[in-house]
Amino acid sequence: MKIVVAKSAGFCFGVQRAVDLVMNAVEKYEGQKIYTYGPIIHNETVVEDLKSRGVIIMEEDKDPADYEKGIVIIRSHGVSRAVMDRIREGGHEIIDATCPFVSKIHRLASEHSAKGERIILLGDKDHPEIRGIIGWINGDGYDVIKTREEAESYVADSTDKIILLSQTTFNLHKFQELVEILTQKGYDINALNTICNATEERQEEAARIAGEVDVMFVIGGRNSSNSQKLYEICKQRCSGTYFIQTKDDFDLSVLQSVYNVGITAGASTPVNIIEEVTKKCQR
């Protein structure tokens, strides 16, 4: 049996940076309270490991001032300006692990909305990244669009100048499709593809591998949106695609009479989990 592991599988630059910043903080600020604002990544194994090193999760629905003063690390998804302010007002120091690609979207949203332009965000309105971006828009001149149907029924004031930005993990083909639908409506739209390269590369490589194998494993956290998108992409190319969190989530019986297996993983999947899944397939 041939096993192909995607080169792009696993931690992306932004997630690796965020995890490294937490690890460094644990060493550098020994004796002080170290918090992550929400779980640092969508991976239970990594989060549990950090907990065992004393890192505490600051709950997003609680007032930062209710926590003992300490260091708060903002995860790679980023947060709104108001959340940053609340954390500081709560007496904490901030280490900002917002991925630079997300920070760039914050800057664009802030600058263009300040000029009175309407912002269209392509993404999931409930995802922390989109909630964070909304928090950098000046005023309420924005809309979030996720589906083809939403794009088709979208109506804006025809005089609005619109800047379109996307969630970093948005599907590239869907981005192109929705931009086309919105552009055909005749609006003055400046569409900026803010999907990060890591996501694009990961999705393209996953699609290519899925098209060549009998069984495809997508490894990722249950709540990881980029892993779920990878699963959707792979499922379209390979009906034998499985979404798993660890090696324990599949039975070797699925590999019976299988010649080619593909493996990819979301941006928050540590390399050891990918290796364990690969080893199990080799049995």
Please give the residue ranges that form the binding site for ligand F3S (CB under 6 A). Answer: 12-15, 76, 99, 101-102, 168-169, 196, 198-199, 267
3-class SS of residue 163: strand
Is 55 or 230 the residue whose CB approaches ligand F3S more closely? Answer: 230
Is 148 or 173 the residue whose CB approaches ligand F3S more closely? Answer: 173
Q: How far is the CB of 236 from ligand F3S (least distance, A)?
A: 21
Quote the tokens at residue 91.
């007496």
Q: How far is the CB of 226 from ligand F3S (least distance, A)?
A: 6
| Cα-to-chain-centroid distance, residue 88 | 25
User: In this structure, which long-range contacts are made by residues 61-67, counting pairs with CB atoms below 8 Å and at least 24 apart in sequence?
Assistant: 63/90, 64/89, 64/90, 64/92, 65/89, 65/90, 65/91, 66/90, 67/33, 67/35, 67/92
Say how far apart CA 258 and CA 59 lie, in whole Å.
44
Q: How far is the CB of 204 from ligand F3S (least distance, A)?
A: 14
Q: How far is the CB of 10 from ligand F3S (least distance, A)?
A: 11
| Sign for the pseudo-dihedral over CA of 266, 11, 41, 173 | negative
Is 13 or 250 the residue whose CB approaches ligand F3S more closely? Answer: 13
Residue showing tokens 């007002």: 89
Say how far apart CA 170 and CA 136 lie, in whole Å.
19
Which position among 117, 129, 200, 205 bears the catalytic label? 129
- Closest residue to ligand F3S, judged by C-beta, is 14
User: Is residue 129 flagged as an active site residue?
Assistant: yes
Is 22 or 215 the residue whose CB approaches ligand F3S more closely? Answer: 22
**What is the set of active-site residues?**
129
